[in-house]
Amino acid sequence: MEKRLIGRGVLAGAAAGLVAFVFARVFAEPVIGKAIAYESARDVVQARLDRAAGLTVPAAGPDLFSRTVQADVGAGVGLILFGAAMGALVAVAYAICLGRTGAIRPRPLALLVPLFGFIGIYAIPFAKYPANPPGIGHADTIGPRGALYLVMVASSCLLLFLAVYVGQRLATRYSAWPASILMGLAYLGAIAVVMALLPALGDLHNNVVEYGRQTTETPLPLRDAHGTIVFPGFPADVLAQFRFYSITAQIILWGVIALVFAPLAERVVAPQAGAAQQDRRQLVRT
């Protein structure tokens, strides 16, 4: 049964990735184009300022892939593979939760697991380290940024698992609602502590040394030797639109996984549950 569930999870995730890609291609890609245009124009101005200051400006390397390939093939394949991986993860979590969640029926459980996946894997980490378009973030901080994000995701998933596990134990002693509310508040408190302990991206060592201590890595205006602004900072509306479309694409991804996987999983589980119930009836008769 587990293999069949995982196969259906992969199928649901791939379908969800395709739907999320169509959304991102239509709505997010133009915003990414604006961010890339800003980055290119800023690099030109920065190169002029460096030359005026007597600095050596390295030649820009060629792009390995065109924007068309990146926007269509790269993003499409990436989102479909990511969706398939998340679908498989949902299926594994669903198989583990079956029979261990009290009175929750198979289909509602198949809807709840992707919901918790979205919260733990994306929504909570997004609150600390939100998605950024091209043009935001420095090359020297890619490693630390990736490590911090993985720590945030791992902490969120671990604390969410502990909250659900302890909540199930408390539900046997108290009713489900008080246990759920208590563990929900405990999870929010614990993840808030983790967020407070993890540094802001602007506090990373390379950023502090080169740019001073800032809240984020969002580019500030460029100034010449006299302090005059010669190029604006990153457009706030582009940043807001990109983040809105990013989280909307994830909502679509996890929502489609839930809606597709739930009926498929129920078809796998229902015969198993029916057979088990029939065996119990035969045992009672004998």
Q: What value, to the nearest 5°, has the Cα angle with vertex 109 and ends 106 and 112?
A: 160
Greater confidence, 276 or 129?
129
C-alpha distances out from residue 218 to 58, 85, 134, 227, 271, Å: 23, 31, 10, 19, 54
228 part of a folded domain: no
Greater confidence, 193 or 209?
193
Are 38 and 180 contained in the same domain?
no
Q: Are 37 and 130 in contact (CB under 8 A)?
A: no
Q: Where are the alpha helices (DSSP H) in the chain?
A: 2-23, 29-52, 67-68, 75-97, 106-117, 124-128, 142-173, 176-197, 205-211, 236-285
Q: Total domain count for the chain? A: 2
Average pLDDT over residues 202-231: 83
Q: How many CB atoms lie within 10 A of CB 173?
A: 8
Q: What is the pLDDT of residue 67?
A: 66
Confidence label for 284 from pLDDT (cuts 50, 70 and 90)? very low
Confidence label for 188 from pLDDT (cuts 50, 70 and 90)? very high
Computed over every residue of the chain, the mean pLDDT equals 88
225 part of a folded domain: no
Burial of 180 (0-12, 13-18, 19+ CB in 10 A): middle
Are 18 and 40 contained in the same domain?
yes
Are 116 and 246 contained in the same domain?
yes
Confidence label for 99 from pLDDT (cuts 50, 70 and 90)? confident
Are 16 and 125 contained in the same domain?
yes
Are 103 and 65 contained in the same domain?
yes
248 part of a folded domain: yes
Domain end point (choices 182, 217, 252) = 217
pLDDT digits (tens, 9 = 90+) for 5-38: 999 999 999 999 999 999 999 999 999 999 999 9
d(Cα 61, Cα 167) in Å, to the nearest integer?
54
24 part of a folded domain: yes
Residue 151's domain spans which residues? 137-217
Are 256 and 131 contained in the same domain?
yes
Q: Is the dihedral of CA 177, 179, 180, 182 positive or negative?
A: positive
Whole-model pTM: value is 0.87
Question: What percent of the chain stands above pLDDT 70?
Answer: 91
pLDDT digits (tens, 9 = 90+) for 147-171: 999 999 999 999 999 998 898 888 8
83 part of a folded domain: yes
